[in-house]
Structure 1
């Protein structure tokens, strides 16, 4: 038995090493592309391209599925020719990742070109990212989200804040440089805390006026300058629903492209008042209320389209599984059911 165990252990260790080696090689290759301009330009010739039009990704519907096509450099040149543009347009792309075989992935926004020509040629459509994230395959969602955030950052940082002069991006799109001042700008993300508040037997969910009818989610807000995560959670909960957090626990994080590239820091928070009374900040929220376990379980099963009742009102439903708020709610259910 000991011999069998040792053999299995060696096999598992070998597999782990191979996986780690693959990951390390991949990360180092991507870093080389960011640092070596000539290498990145060469990589564009063998890479694949994800297309956007004014920050909306291009999708193809096949049956009931939505696919995110990856165009080769040759296919990109054909599209550009159809739009009477040269292949120099490809230099506007940004690096967003690579395959296990080190085939680089780029994102390119063709917002200045005729959308209908591209859609007709490729037999698909440019789709709002908020919809796209929840209809494409799970492995494509993070790539589209990071691509849009990076493209948006470049669009809004074309001029130096110090000199007012144009900035130039490097081939990978990992930075922009002002030649006049020598200032280098790097893409940034905004930290956001998203918190599921519980009083032990219930959890608190809220909605804003801009939400789809019936949708409730966890509280969230940007971290202020100088705050740590714990302080931001306590402040946001106090501001939005008038409750004081006694303890909190970090859960996970997720990049989120809205409004302009956020790092969502997900936490569970506990309030201990005997029957905590919610005081909603109407400038921030339309409604906030407590949900029991049974109502949460039913809401997780409910589709947005099936939430409307005969009288026109909507039953509660919650963010889909691609959103980190869904993970927080699921974790709370598991804790209550344990």
Structure 2
């Protein structure tokens, strides 16, 4: 991957300080002595917006102190790590309910709504992370991604997978322990292969059912148990489009907390051109020439909208085009 292509959530330099996670007393001390807490409401992190005259812009994440009233309905803060020696935590406040009529709505693929909290300043609001990921600094983006993925895991894994009893967060939030049977559970990350499939001067683009109009992307899929990454690339492309794949080359990876994936990017060489779509997987797929992709990335293609900046799909496509243009 060439330098200069922005990928959100990667390379923030977070010191995760795993040795500190099992020291509950020290974590409590750090939290009380200036620890920074990121409230997350129903998957949306708190951000601060500043109006510089041309409309509001995201200035950064909305960190609060441990005694902030905004955390009144929150669970125990979970330890994320340290930035410049300062301990950072995240707190799930999803049990807080806004006043009637202020409930955020899930607007299909992307939720553009902004929710404010009465205990916080008006320039603080909970927003969809994908909408602000490039507005955050690299350290804050990594913190936000870690917080979102970790808190989602806790909300979706409240019971022991061995005996079914309720489990509790331990080790700063990086484990759940079951008092009934003693089992220990750890946060999961789902490996996903995402591949730029090329054939000569063209690249294979596809779209899933329910995506916004004009949205096409690289093919992608989850890695199955007992499968290598290269085998997953070939299997997913064959299953979704019927295209056989030969050489596979790793390019880059990106944490993607929607809800908890690691996107592992590859460039793959197709050994055929005939597309046979699996309608259960894709709504459409077709070959796009380099010239057409240049127009798509510029926002001038009549059929394809540009890939989301900050996502690995955008970086894979931009890297491919840059190699061609050098």
Aligned-pair distance for 1:132? 3.5
Question: Corresponding residue for 2:59?
Answer: 67
Aligned-pair distance for 1:178? 0.5
Aligned-pair distance for 1:139? 4.5
- Asked if 1:301 corresponds to 2:298, the answer is yes
* Higher Rg: 1
Question: Corresponding residue for 1:103?
Answer: 86
Question: Corresponding residue for 1:79?
Answer: 69
How many angstroms apart in 1 are the aligned matches of 2:278 and 2:31?
A: 50
Question: Corresponding residue for 1:141?
Answer: 141
- Asked if 1:30 corresponds to 2:29, the answer is no
Q: How does 1:1-338 map to 2 (within 5 A)?
A: 27=15, 30-45=17-32, 46-63=34-51, 64-73=56-65, 76-80=66-70, 85=72, 89=74, 92-100=76-84, 102-115=85-98, 118-119=117-118, 121-123=120-122, 124-133=124-133, 135-137=135-137, 139-170=139-170, 172-258=172-258, 260-273=259-272, 276-302=273-299, 315-338=303-326
Aligned-pair distance for 1:247? 0.6
Structure 2 stretches lacking a partner, 5+ long: 1-12, 100-115
Aligned-pair distance for 1:188? 1.0
Q: Secondary structure of 1:121's partner?
A: coil
Aligned-pair distance for 1:224? 0.9
Higher relative contact order (CA 8 A, sep 6+): 2
How many angstroms apart in 2 are the aligned matches of 1:292 and 1:195?
A: 16
Aligned-pair distance for 1:180? 1.5
Structure 1 stretches lacking a partner, 5+ long: 1-22, 308-313
* Contact 1:206–1:217, Cα closer than 8 Å, also in 2: yes
Q: Secondary structure of 1:122's partner?
A: coil
How many angstroms apart in 2 are the aligned matches of 1:52 and 1:223?
A: 29
How many angstroms apart in 2 are the aligned matches of 1:69 and 1:115?
A: 20
Q: Secondary structure of 2:155's partner?
A: helix
How many angstroms apart in 1 are the aligned matches of 2:266 and 2:25?
A: 43
Higher strand fraction (1 or 2)? 2
How many angstroms apart in 1 are the aligned matches of 2:98 and 2:41?
A: 7
* Contact 1:48–1:70, Cα closer than 8 Å, also in 2: no
- The superposition leaves residues 87-132 of structure 1 with CA deviations (integer Å, 9 ceiling, x where unpaired) of xx5x6111223212x1011111111124467256321321123334
How many angstroms apart in 1 are the aligned matches of 2:145 and 2:245?
A: 31
Q: Secondary structure of 1:181's partner?
A: coil
Question: Corresponding residue for 1:19?
Answer: none
What TM-score does the superposition give when structure 1 sets the normalisation length?
Answer: 0.80
Higher helix fraction (1 or 2)? 1
